[in-house]
């Protein structure tokens, strides 16, 4: 799929956020529940995150140019990182409202209609979250996947709030409402921190995921032999893009044509095993000692004197 077409899923998330905000605000106004208010506040975060996702997907879809030869894929990490930060802000607002209600409890009113609206909002989020998660994983879009994870968390926290309101109606213990709101805040803090951490690691050029590294090693094992060896293998990922580089060592007596044909075969097989991979290979002579002098991770340091 053309990466620019992924923006339609961000529009779907925006529409879902607007609908759920309206439903949850209505539920809060009817019941006065701080738990439902906390749920509504997280939906405002969903809307802001969906708008950010739309913008970053549009940037990430740009083709490489002279100033950005590796493309714009890392823009998606700004979306997921911002979403994580917004979640933490929402959690702070929830705690503020919940502590006040815990100190000064108030009864929850018109529970039936309020819960009905909240359940409707949760069903909307559930449907959209499943679409975003499936699309994000299929097309390696961390922005859509993060948005889907956030919506799915919203579904579970909404379920907790709904159960809490039902428990208040059954027991009459009004402090249960703000206590559940505090539990919701703790849950979304965990989600926010996780998203920020994942975005941070992506911006730091983290290596490929273990399952992708296994697929890469499987390809190299098929091509390897006593006269064909590999080293200086390096990988990184930038949202949907994957980058793989390696040195391929072959006998020095091989012709350029034979060596080039081997590299073309290896690169083709790696791209088939790892979607969206850019593969760079470097051919070296197996019997030349110089071929083994540049294996360290930062090859820019080769030949420099050791630190004192």
Per-residue pLDDT of 29-70, as tens digits, reads 777 766 667 667 777 877 887 888 888 888 888 888 888 887
pLDDT for residue 303 is more than 60 = no
Write a three-state SS string for the chain: CCHHHHHHHHHHHHHHHHHHHHHHHHHHHHHCCHHHHHHHHHHHHHHHHHHHHHHHHHHHCCCCCCCCCCCCCCHHHHHHHHHHHHHHHHHHHHHHHHHHHHHCCCCCCCHHHHHHHHHHHHHHHHHHHHHHHHHHHHCCCHHHHHHHHHHHHHHHHHHHHHHHHHHHHHHCCCCHHHHHHHHHHHHHHHHHHHHHHHHHHHHCCCCCCHHHHHHHHHHHHHHCECCEEEEEEEEEEECCEEEEEEEEEECCCCCHHHHHHHHHHHHHHHHHHCCCEEEEEEEEECCCHHHHCCCCCCHHHCCCCCCC
Higher-scoring residue by pLDDT: 279, 59: 279
Per-residue pLDDT of 144-202, as tens digits, reads 887 887 787 778 777 766 776 677 767 767 676 677 778 777 877 887 888 788 788 87
pLDDT for residue 255 is more than 80 = yes
How much is the pLDDT for 279?
94
Query: Does the reported pTM lie above 0.85?
Result: no
Helix pair 142-171, 7-31: axis angle to 10 deg: 20
Average pLDDT, whole number, for the chain? Answer: 80
Domain with CATH 3.30.70.1350 in the chain: 210-301
How much is the pLDDT for 75?
83
Q: Which residue, 154, 115, 161, is CA-closest to 132?
A: 154
Per-residue pLDDT of 230-246, as tens digits, reads 988 999 888 778 899 99
pLDDT for residue 276 is more than 80 = yes
Per-residue pLDDT of 105-157, as tens digits, reads 666 555 566 667 778 888 888 999 899 988 888 887 878 887 887 787 778 77
Q: What is the mean pLDDT of residues 63-82?
A: 82
Higher-scoring residue by pLDDT: 278, 101: 278
Higher-scoring residue by pLDDT: 44, 229: 229
Least confident of 14-23, 90-99, 285-294: 90-99
Task: Give me the percent of the chain exceeding a pLDDT of 70.
Answer: 84
Count how many residues are written for the chain. 308
140 Ramachandran zone, left/alpha/beta (phi>0; psi -120 to 50): left
Q: What is the mean pLDDT of residues 249-261?
A: 94
Q: Which CATH class is domain 3-203?
A: mainly alpha
Least confident of 16-20, 110-114, 191-195, 258-262: 110-114
CATH number for 210-301 (one of 3.40.50.300, 3.90.79.10, 3.40.50.150, 3.30.70.1350): it is 3.30.70.1350
User: Which residues share a beta bridge with 249?
Assistant: 229, 284
13 Ramachandran zone, left/alpha/beta (phi>0; psi -120 to 50): alpha
Domain with CATH 1.20.1510.10 in the chain: 3-203
Higher-scoring residue by pLDDT: 286, 87: 286
């Amino acid at each position: 799929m053309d990466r620019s077409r992924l923006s339609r899923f961000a529009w779907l998330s925006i529409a879902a956020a607007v609908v759920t905000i309206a439903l949850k605000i209505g539920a809060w106004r009817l019941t006065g529940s701080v738990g439902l208010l906390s749920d509504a506040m997280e939906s405002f975060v969903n809307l802001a995150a969906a708008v950010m996702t739309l913008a970053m997907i549009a940037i990430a879809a740009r083709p490489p140019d002279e100033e950005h030869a590796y493309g714009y894929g890392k823009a998606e990490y700004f979306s997921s990182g911002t979403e994580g930060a917004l979640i933490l802000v929402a959690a702070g607002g929830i705690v503020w409202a919940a502590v006040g209600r815990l100190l000064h409890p108030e009864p929850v009113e018109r529970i039936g209609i309020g819960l009905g609206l909240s359940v409707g909002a949760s069903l909307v989020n559930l449907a959209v979250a499943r679409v975003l998660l499936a699309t994000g994983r299929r097309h390696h879009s961390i922005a859509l996947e993060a948005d889907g994870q956030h919506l799915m968390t919203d579904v579970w926290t909404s379920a907790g709030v709904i159960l809490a309101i039902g428990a208040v109606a059954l027991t009459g213990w009004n402090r249960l409402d703000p206590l559940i709101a505090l539990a919701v805040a703790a849950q979304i803090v965990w989600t926010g921190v996780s998203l920020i951490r994942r975005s941070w690691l992506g911006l730091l050029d983290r290596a490929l995921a273990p399952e992708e590294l296994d697929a890469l090693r499987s390809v190299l094992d098929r091509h390897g032999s006593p006269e064909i060896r590999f080293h200086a293998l390096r990988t990184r990922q930038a949202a949907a893009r994957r980058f793989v580089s390696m040195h391929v060592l072959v006998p020095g007596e091989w012709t350029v044509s034979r060596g080039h044909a081997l590299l073309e075969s290896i690169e083709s097989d790696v791209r088939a095993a790892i979607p969206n991979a850019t593969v760079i290979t470097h051919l070296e002579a197996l019997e030349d000692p110089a071929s083994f002098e540049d294996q360290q991770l930062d090859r820019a340091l080769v030949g420099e004197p050791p630190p004192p």
